[in-house]
Protein backbone atom coordinates (compact mmCIF):
# COMPACT_ATOMS: atom_id res chain seq x y z
CA UNK A 1 0.00 0.00 0.00
CA UNK A 2 1.46 3.36 -0.91
CA UNK A 3 2.55 5.57 1.92
CA UNK A 4 1.17 8.78 1.00
CA UNK A 5 0.34 11.71 0.54
CA UNK A 6 0.57 16.56 0.35
CA UNK A 7 0.42 29.45 -0.34
CA UNK A 8 -0.62 32.46 -0.69
CA UNK A 9 3.05 33.38 -0.99
CA UNK A 10 5.94 31.01 -0.48
CA UNK A 11 8.37 33.89 -0.19
CA UNK A 12 6.41 35.57 2.58
CA UNK A 13 6.18 32.24 4.39
CA UNK A 14 9.90 31.66 4.25
CA UNK A 15 10.51 35.17 5.49
CA UNK A 16 8.12 34.56 8.38
CA UNK A 17 9.76 31.25 9.28
CA UNK A 18 13.22 32.73 9.04
CA UNK A 19 12.29 35.61 11.30
CA UNK A 20 11.26 33.32 14.16
CA UNK A 21 14.14 33.19 16.61
CA UNK A 22 14.21 30.63 19.41
CA UNK A 23 13.96 32.08 22.88
CA UNK A 24 14.87 30.46 26.14
CA UNK A 25 12.06 28.97 28.14
CA UNK A 26 12.89 31.26 31.05
CA UNK A 27 12.16 34.31 28.90
CA UNK A 28 8.94 33.16 27.26
CA UNK A 29 6.74 32.62 30.28
CA UNK A 30 5.40 29.51 28.54
CA UNK A 31 5.83 26.16 30.23
CA UNK A 32 5.75 22.88 28.39
CA UNK A 33 2.51 21.75 29.97
CA UNK A 34 0.75 24.90 28.78
CA UNK A 35 1.39 24.20 25.11
CA UNK A 36 -1.94 23.17 23.66
CA UNK A 37 -2.27 20.36 21.12
CA UNK A 38 -5.30 21.35 19.06
CA UNK A 39 -5.54 18.96 16.11
CA UNK A 40 -3.15 16.04 16.58
CA UNK A 41 -4.63 12.94 18.21
CA UNK A 42 -1.55 10.76 18.54
CA UNK A 43 0.52 12.78 21.02
CA UNK A 44 0.07 15.14 23.92
CA UNK A 45 2.26 17.36 26.04
CA UNK A 46 2.46 17.60 29.81
CA UNK A 47 5.01 18.39 32.48
CA UNK A 48 5.66 14.63 32.60
CA UNK A 49 6.89 14.73 29.01
CA UNK A 50 5.76 13.91 25.49
CA UNK A 51 3.29 11.04 25.27
CA UNK A 52 2.72 9.19 22.00
CA UNK A 53 -0.65 7.49 22.38
CA UNK A 54 -0.24 5.12 19.40
CA UNK A 55 3.46 4.65 18.65
CA UNK A 56 2.67 2.23 15.80
CA UNK A 57 -0.56 0.96 14.23
CA UNK A 58 -2.54 -1.10 16.70
CA UNK A 59 -0.33 -0.31 19.68
CA UNK A 60 -2.15 -0.95 22.94
CA UNK A 61 0.11 1.12 25.17
CA UNK A 62 1.31 4.69 24.95
CA UNK A 63 4.93 5.78 25.46
CA UNK A 64 5.97 8.87 27.38
CA UNK A 65 9.34 10.44 26.65
CA UNK A 66 10.94 12.71 29.22
CA UNK A 67 11.92 16.05 27.75
CA UNK A 68 15.59 15.98 26.84
CA UNK A 69 18.14 18.69 27.33
CA UNK A 70 18.55 19.85 23.78
CA UNK A 71 20.29 16.84 22.08
CA UNK A 72 22.87 17.85 19.49
CA UNK A 73 23.46 14.66 17.47
CA UNK A 74 20.34 13.14 16.00
CA UNK A 75 19.20 10.58 13.45
CA UNK A 76 15.75 10.58 11.85
CA UNK A 77 14.41 7.80 9.64
CA UNK A 78 11.74 9.44 7.46
CA UNK A 79 11.91 12.34 5.02
CA UNK A 80 8.71 13.64 6.65
CA UNK A 81 10.71 14.38 9.82
CA UNK A 82 13.12 16.66 7.98
CA UNK A 83 10.83 19.71 7.51
CA UNK A 84 10.22 19.94 11.25
CA UNK A 85 13.96 20.08 11.87
CA UNK A 86 14.47 22.69 9.18
CA UNK A 87 11.58 24.85 10.43
CA UNK A 88 13.12 24.86 13.89
CA UNK A 89 16.66 25.51 12.67
CA UNK A 90 17.88 22.07 13.79
CA UNK A 91 19.01 20.57 10.49
CA UNK A 92 22.70 20.98 11.37
CA UNK A 93 22.23 18.50 14.23
CA UNK A 94 21.35 15.69 11.84
CA UNK A 95 24.25 13.22 11.61
CA UNK A 96 22.64 10.23 9.90
CA UNK A 97 19.72 9.35 7.63
CA UNK A 98 18.70 6.21 5.70
CA UNK A 99 18.75 6.50 1.89
CA UNK A 100 19.85 10.12 1.63
CA UNK A 101 19.21 10.10 -2.12
CA UNK A 102 15.50 10.62 -1.43
CA UNK A 103 16.00 13.91 0.42
CA UNK A 104 14.46 16.90 -1.38
CA UNK A 105 15.49 19.80 0.88
CA UNK A 106 18.31 21.70 -0.80
CA UNK A 107 19.75 22.76 2.54
CA UNK A 108 19.86 19.21 3.91
CA UNK A 109 21.13 17.78 0.62
CA UNK A 110 24.02 20.24 0.86
CA UNK A 111 24.84 18.87 4.33
CA UNK A 112 24.88 15.38 2.84
CA UNK A 113 27.18 16.49 0.02
CA UNK A 114 29.50 18.14 2.56
CA UNK A 115 29.80 14.85 4.45
CA UNK A 116 28.01 16.10 7.55
CA UNK A 117 25.15 13.60 7.24
CA UNK A 118 25.97 9.91 6.83
CA UNK A 119 23.88 7.65 4.60
CA UNK A 120 22.79 4.70 6.74
CA UNK A 121 21.48 2.54 3.93
CA UNK A 122 17.85 1.48 3.29
CA UNK A 123 15.41 2.27 6.08
CA UNK A 124 14.30 -1.34 6.38
CA UNK A 125 17.89 -2.54 6.62
CA UNK A 126 19.92 0.28 8.13
CA UNK A 127 23.63 -0.23 8.77
CA UNK A 128 23.47 -0.66 12.53
CA UNK A 129 27.22 -0.55 13.11
CA UNK A 130 27.49 2.68 11.17
CA UNK A 131 24.63 4.24 13.11
CA UNK A 132 26.09 3.29 16.49
CA UNK A 133 29.48 4.64 15.42
CA UNK A 134 27.86 8.05 14.87
CA UNK A 135 26.95 8.10 18.58
CA UNK A 136 23.66 9.95 18.16
CA UNK A 137 21.95 11.32 21.25
CA UNK A 138 18.56 10.14 19.94
CA UNK A 139 16.97 8.39 16.95
CA UNK A 140 13.53 9.49 15.76
CA UNK A 141 11.85 6.53 14.08
CA UNK A 142 8.55 5.25 12.80
CA UNK A 143 7.33 1.67 12.90
CA UNK A 144 4.54 0.15 10.83
CA UNK A 145 3.73 -2.51 13.42
CA UNK A 146 6.43 -2.97 16.08
CA UNK A 147 8.31 -5.28 13.75
CA UNK A 148 11.69 -3.57 13.49
CA UNK A 149 14.49 -5.60 15.03
CA UNK A 150 16.87 -2.80 14.04
CA UNK A 151 15.14 -0.36 16.36
CA UNK A 152 15.31 -2.90 19.17
CA UNK A 153 19.05 -3.26 18.61
CA UNK A 154 19.52 0.50 18.61
CA UNK A 155 17.87 0.68 22.02
CA UNK A 156 19.94 -2.26 23.26
CA UNK A 157 23.03 -0.26 22.29
CA UNK A 158 21.93 2.44 24.73
CA UNK A 159 20.69 4.93 22.13
CA UNK A 160 17.22 6.33 22.88
CA UNK A 161 14.60 5.71 20.17
CA UNK A 162 11.63 8.09 19.96
CA UNK A 163 8.67 6.80 17.98
CA UNK A 164 7.06 9.37 15.72
CA UNK A 165 3.47 8.57 14.75
CA UNK A 166 2.62 11.64 12.69
CA UNK A 167 1.70 9.41 9.74
CA UNK A 168 -1.20 7.97 11.77
CA UNK A 169 -2.96 11.34 12.07
CA UNK A 170 -6.27 11.53 10.20
CA UNK A 171 -6.21 15.28 9.54
CA UNK A 172 -3.80 17.50 7.63
CA UNK A 173 -3.42 20.00 10.46
CA UNK A 174 -3.07 17.16 12.96
CA UNK A 175 -0.06 15.87 11.11
CA UNK A 176 1.50 19.32 10.73
CA UNK A 177 1.10 19.94 14.46
CA UNK A 178 3.88 17.44 15.13
CA UNK A 179 6.24 20.37 14.75
CA UNK A 180 5.27 21.02 18.38
CA UNK A 181 6.45 17.52 19.32
CA UNK A 182 9.89 18.31 17.96
CA UNK A 183 9.73 21.83 19.38
CA UNK A 184 9.17 20.60 22.92
CA UNK A 185 11.78 17.85 22.64
CA UNK A 186 14.40 20.39 21.58
CA UNK A 187 13.32 23.13 23.99
CA UNK A 188 11.95 25.30 21.19
CA UNK A 189 8.29 25.10 22.07
CA UNK A 190 7.50 28.79 21.54
CA UNK A 191 9.00 28.82 18.07
CA UNK A 192 7.14 25.63 17.15
CA UNK A 193 3.89 27.08 18.49
CA UNK A 194 4.34 30.27 16.46
CA UNK A 195 5.14 28.36 13.27
CA UNK A 196 2.15 26.06 13.61
CA UNK A 197 -0.26 28.87 14.46
CA UNK A 198 0.79 30.64 11.28
CA UNK A 199 0.20 27.49 9.22
CA UNK A 200 -3.18 26.80 10.82
CA UNK A 201 -4.37 30.40 10.43
CA UNK A 202 -3.46 30.41 6.74
CA UNK A 203 -5.12 27.05 6.23
CA UNK A 204 -8.33 28.26 7.86
CA UNK A 205 -8.32 31.47 5.79
CA UNK A 206 -7.85 29.53 2.57
CA UNK A 207 -10.56 27.07 3.54
CA UNK A 208 -12.95 29.96 4.17
CA UNK A 209 -12.06 31.42 0.78
CA UNK A 210 -12.86 28.15 -0.99
CA UNK A 211 -16.12 27.73 0.92
CA UNK A 212 -17.53 30.75 -0.95
CA UNK A 213 -17.71 28.94 -4.30
CA UNK A 214 -21.14 28.24 -5.74
CA UNK A 215 -20.09 25.21 -7.80
CA UNK A 216 -17.81 22.42 -6.66
CA UNK A 217 -16.08 20.48 -9.46
CA UNK A 218 -16.07 16.71 -9.15
CA UNK A 219 -12.75 14.92 -8.76
CA UNK A 220 -11.10 11.58 -8.15
CA UNK A 221 -7.57 10.44 -7.31
CA UNK A 222 -5.07 7.62 -7.43
CA UNK A 223 -3.92 5.03 -9.97
CA UNK A 224 -3.79 1.28 -10.47
CA UNK A 225 -1.22 -0.90 -8.70
CA UNK A 226 -1.47 -4.26 -10.38
CA UNK A 227 -5.18 -5.00 -10.65
CA UNK A 228 -6.19 -2.69 -7.81
CA UNK A 229 -6.87 1.06 -7.82
CA UNK A 230 -5.74 2.79 -4.63
CA UNK A 231 -7.45 6.04 -3.67
CA UNK A 232 -8.11 7.97 -0.44
CA UNK A 233 -11.00 6.95 1.77
CA UNK A 234 -13.64 9.59 2.43
CA UNK A 235 -12.19 10.51 5.83
CA UNK A 236 -8.57 10.29 4.74
CA UNK A 237 -6.52 13.48 5.14
CA UNK A 238 -6.14 13.70 1.33
CA UNK A 239 -9.92 13.69 0.92
CA UNK A 240 -10.07 16.47 3.50
CA UNK A 241 -7.82 18.58 1.28
CA UNK A 242 -10.12 18.07 -1.72
CA UNK A 243 -13.20 19.08 0.23
CA UNK A 244 -11.53 22.09 1.88
CA UNK A 245 -10.30 23.26 -1.53
CA UNK A 246 -13.87 23.51 -2.78
CA UNK A 247 -14.00 20.23 -4.64
CA UNK A 248 -16.51 17.40 -4.62
CA UNK A 249 -14.49 14.28 -3.98
CA UNK A 250 -16.52 11.41 -5.39
CA UNK A 251 -15.71 9.10 -2.47
CA UNK A 252 -16.40 11.70 0.21
CA UNK A 253 -19.26 9.61 1.57
CA UNK A 254 -16.94 6.75 2.46
CA UNK A 255 -16.07 6.47 6.17
CA UNK A 256 -12.51 5.11 5.76
CA UNK A 257 -9.54 7.08 7.08
CA UNK A 258 -7.07 4.95 5.15
CA UNK A 259 -6.88 4.01 1.48
CA UNK A 260 -9.51 2.20 -0.58
CA UNK A 261 -8.58 -0.72 -2.80
CA UNK A 262 -11.12 -1.13 -5.59
CA UNK A 263 -11.35 -2.33 -9.16
CA UNK A 264 -10.78 -0.22 -12.26
CA UNK A 265 -14.38 -0.83 -13.28
CA UNK A 266 -15.71 0.57 -9.99
CA UNK A 267 -13.61 3.72 -10.34
CA UNK A 268 -14.54 4.18 -13.99
CA UNK A 269 -18.24 3.76 -13.27
CA UNK A 270 -18.16 6.57 -10.72
CA UNK A 271 -15.44 8.86 -12.09
CA UNK A 272 -15.67 8.62 -15.88
CA UNK A 273 -17.32 12.06 -16.13
CA UNK A 274 -15.41 13.73 -13.27
CA UNK A 275 -14.02 17.21 -13.88
CA UNK A 276 -10.56 16.61 -12.39
CA UNK A 277 -8.12 13.77 -11.76
CA UNK A 278 -5.68 14.79 -9.01
CA UNK A 279 -2.75 12.69 -7.85
CA UNK A 280 -1.22 10.14 -10.24
CA UNK A 281 1.58 8.64 -8.14
CA UNK A 282 4.86 8.56 -10.09
CA UNK A 283 3.27 8.99 -13.52
CA UNK A 284 4.53 12.39 -14.61
CA UNK A 285 3.06 12.70 -18.12
CA UNK A 286 -0.20 11.88 -19.84
CA UNK A 287 1.69 9.54 -22.14
CA UNK A 288 3.08 7.59 -19.20
CA UNK A 289 -0.44 7.12 -17.88
CA UNK A 290 -1.92 5.62 -21.03
CA UNK A 291 1.30 3.72 -21.62
CA UNK A 292 0.67 1.87 -18.37
CA UNK A 293 -3.04 1.34 -19.04
CA UNK A 294 -4.83 2.58 -22.17
CA UNK A 295 -8.11 2.69 -20.25
CA UNK A 296 -6.92 5.79 -18.36
CA UNK A 297 -7.50 7.71 -21.58
CA UNK A 298 -11.25 7.07 -21.38
CA UNK A 299 -11.80 9.37 -18.39
CA UNK A 300 -13.21 12.80 -19.23
CA UNK A 301 -10.55 14.43 -17.02
CA UNK A 302 -7.90 12.89 -19.27
CA UNK A 303 -9.68 13.84 -22.48
CA UNK A 304 -10.16 17.43 -21.25
CA UNK A 305 -6.55 17.82 -20.07
CA UNK A 306 -7.50 18.19 -16.42
CA UNK A 307 -5.05 15.76 -14.81
CA UNK A 308 -2.85 17.22 -12.06
CA UNK A 309 -0.22 15.73 -9.80
CA UNK A 310 2.26 16.65 -7.06
CA UNK A 311 5.35 16.33 -9.24
CA UNK A 312 6.42 19.96 -9.64
CA UNK A 313 9.30 19.60 -7.18
CA UNK A 314 11.41 16.48 -7.72
CA UNK A 315 15.00 16.24 -6.48
CA UNK A 316 17.81 15.30 -8.89
CA UNK A 317 17.69 11.74 -7.54
CA UNK A 318 13.91 11.42 -7.84
CA UNK A 319 12.62 12.41 -4.40
CA UNK A 320 9.19 14.08 -4.39
CA UNK A 321 9.21 17.13 -2.16
CA UNK A 322 5.44 16.74 -1.73
CA UNK A 323 6.08 13.58 0.30
CA UNK A 324 8.72 15.37 2.36
CA UNK A 325 7.55 18.89 3.16
CA UNK A 326 3.93 18.70 2.05
CA UNK A 327 2.78 17.01 5.24
CA UNK A 328 4.30 19.80 7.33
CA UNK A 329 2.83 22.55 5.14
CA UNK A 330 -0.86 21.76 4.55
CA UNK A 331 -1.54 25.45 3.96
CA UNK A 332 0.64 25.36 0.85
CA UNK A 333 -0.98 22.14 -0.37
CA UNK A 334 -4.43 23.65 0.12
CA UNK A 335 -3.51 26.84 -1.74
CA UNK A 336 -2.24 24.74 -4.64
CA UNK A 337 -5.46 22.74 -4.82
CA UNK A 338 -7.66 25.83 -4.66
CA UNK A 339 -5.64 27.29 -7.51
CA UNK A 340 -6.22 24.11 -9.53
CA UNK A 341 -9.94 23.79 -8.83
CA UNK A 342 -10.82 27.50 -8.64
CA UNK A 343 -8.12 29.59 -10.36
CA UNK A 344 -10.39 32.63 -10.20
CA UNK A 345 -9.91 32.66 -6.43
CA UNK A 346 -6.10 32.75 -6.70
CA UNK A 347 -5.21 35.22 -9.46
CA UNK A 348 -1.50 35.33 -10.19
CA UNK A 349 -0.77 32.44 -7.86
CA UNK A 350 1.97 29.97 -8.86
CA UNK A 351 1.59 26.46 -7.49
CA UNK A 352 4.36 24.94 -5.42
CA UNK A 353 3.74 21.18 -5.47
CA UNK A 354 1.03 20.56 -8.06
CA UNK A 355 1.04 20.99 -11.82
CA UNK A 356 -0.93 19.82 -14.82
CA UNK A 357 0.50 16.70 -16.43
CA UNK A 358 1.99 17.55 -19.83
214-356 and 23-187 share a CATH fold: yes
Distance CA 140, CA 242 (A): 31
pLDDT digits (tens, 9 = 90+) for 132-191: 999 999 999 988 766 567 888 999 999 999 999 999 998 999 999 999 999 999 999 999
Chain centroid to CA 164: 13
Give the chain's largest Cα–Cα span: 63
pLDDT of residue 146: 60
Exposure pattern of 314-345 as b/e (b: 16+ CB <10 Å)? ebeeebbbbbbbbbbbbbbbbbbbbbbbbeeb
| DSSP β-bridge partners for residue 163 | 141
Query: Whole-number mean pLDDT of the chain?
Result: 89
Closest CA to 45 of 189, 194, 200, 175: 189
The CATH homologous superfamily for domain 214-356 is Nitrogenase molybdenum iron protein domain (3.40.50.1980)
pLDDT of residue 20: 39
pLDDT of residue 14: 33
pLDDT of residue 33: 64
Distance CA 224, CA 211 (A): 31
Pick the CATH number of 23-187 from 3.30.200.20, 3.40.50.720, 3.40.50.1220, 3.40.50.1980: 3.40.50.1980
Instruction: With beta carbons less than 8 A apart as the criterion, state whether 310 and 158 touch.
Output: no
> Is residue 29 pLDDT above 50, yes or no?
no
pLDDT digits (tens, 9 = 90+) for 273-304: 999 999 999 899 999 999 999 999 999 999 99
Instruction: With beta carbons less than 8 A apart as the criterion, state whether 120 and 98 touch.
Output: yes
Ranges of each domain in the chain: 23-187, 214-356
> Averaging pLDDT over each range in 3-7, 40-44, 46-50, which range is the top one?
40-44
Q: Which CA distances in Å does 134 have to 97, 139, 154?
A: 11, 11, 12
Amino acid sequence: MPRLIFYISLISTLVMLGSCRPKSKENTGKYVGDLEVKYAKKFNISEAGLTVSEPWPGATQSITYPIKNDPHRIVVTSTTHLPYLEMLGLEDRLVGFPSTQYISSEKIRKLVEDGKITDLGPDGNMNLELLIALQPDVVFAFDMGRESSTLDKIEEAGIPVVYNADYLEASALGRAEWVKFFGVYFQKEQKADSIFNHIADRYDSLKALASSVSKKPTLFSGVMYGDIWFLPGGKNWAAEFYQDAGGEYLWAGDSSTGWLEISFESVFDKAQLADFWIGTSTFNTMQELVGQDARYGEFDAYKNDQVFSYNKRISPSGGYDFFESGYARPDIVLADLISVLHPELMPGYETYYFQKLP
